[in-house]
Amino acid sequence: MAAHEADLEAIGLSEGLLDAGDQLFAREWLFEKGVVAASGLPVDGRIEIAFAGRSNVGKSSLLNALVNQKGLARTSNTPGRTQELNLFSADGMPFRIVDMPGYGFAKAPLDAVEKWNKLIRRYLQGRVELARVFVLIDSRHGLKKNDLDILKMLDETAVSYQIVLTKTDKLKPGQIERVKQSVLDGIQRRPAAYPFIAVTSSEKKQGIDTLRGFIARLLNDLGALQFEAGVDDGAGNSSSGTSHPL
């Protein structure tokens, strides 16, 4: 097995899953709707994958990098840009992506921030369609108290989540390794945490293909999609390339 394949397998991925992930996001993704209260959420049963994190951590930017469409989700230097649950979908895809308002400090009136916090908690705790939360952590800051509060809540409600370090273009490789290790220590023994930290930069488009691969794996594991992307074994038999348990 090539070193690259072994590296992928170690994190639960494969070439087939990376290809499948690329295919998912080669389509045109569209803004579907903005929701200010849980009662406004769709009832079509489609799987949801949400981006959560402190204000300004880079949720909307990461979503744009994922779908490879620059201005799809609105981004801003001012914390508190995303103020609703913004739903994005693509034709023929059995899942949608949800860009969430941030928690923590925001340049917005206190009552607005409280309303978002309520909406965030309500959504993360009570949405059966929610299959995975990517919890974004700014690589310069690491896990903070309000991140830990969210992780605890997700553990208690058994919503599967995965940590994504953002803005790693702002750090040196050694610094990235240190924050990655400290975050990994912080999620040890957390029941709902996926045991791998994704290292990304939306600015430099780093780690985005890995993230797509994780989404492909999730959909495959849920039985929502079966990928054709195959790995030929040399004898003319093609395996799915998606059958790598952790």
Residues between 41 and 80 that touch ligand GTP (CB under 6 A): 53, 55-61, 75-77, 79-80
Q: How far is CA 207 from CA 199, 227, 234, in A?
A: 6, 21, 30
Question: How many beta carbons lie within 10 A of that of residue 24, not counting itself?
Answer: 20
Determine the residue with CB nearest ligand GTP: 102
CB of residue 115 vs ligand GTP: minimum separation in angstroms? 14
Rounded Cα distance between 75 and 139, Å, is 18
Query: Which span (13-21, 166-174, 191-199, 236-244) binds ligand GTP, by CB under 6 A?
Result: 166-174
CB of residue 11 vs Mg ion: minimum separation in angstroms? 27
Rounded Cα distance between 62 and 212, Å, is 11
Q: How far is CA 238 from CA 22, 42, 225, 234, 245, in A?
A: 20, 38, 17, 9, 18
One of 17, 48, 81, 88 touching ligand GTP (CB under 6 A):
81
Q: Residue count at the site for ligand GTP (CB under 6 A)?
A: 24
CB of residue 31 vs ligand GTP: minimum separation in angstroms? 14
Query: Which span (5-13, 58-66, 177-185, 220-228) binds Mg ion, by CB under 5 A?
Result: 58-66
81 versus 212: smaller Cβ distance to ligand GTP? 81
Token duo for residue 50? 């949400």
Q: Residue count at the site for Mg ion (CB under 5 A)?
A: 4
DSSP sequence for 50-100: EEEEBTTSSHHHHHHHHHT-TTSS---SSTT---SEEEEEETT-SEEEEEP
**Binding residues for ligand GTP (CB under 6 A):** 53, 55-61, 75-77, 79-82, 101-102, 166-167, 169-170, 201-203
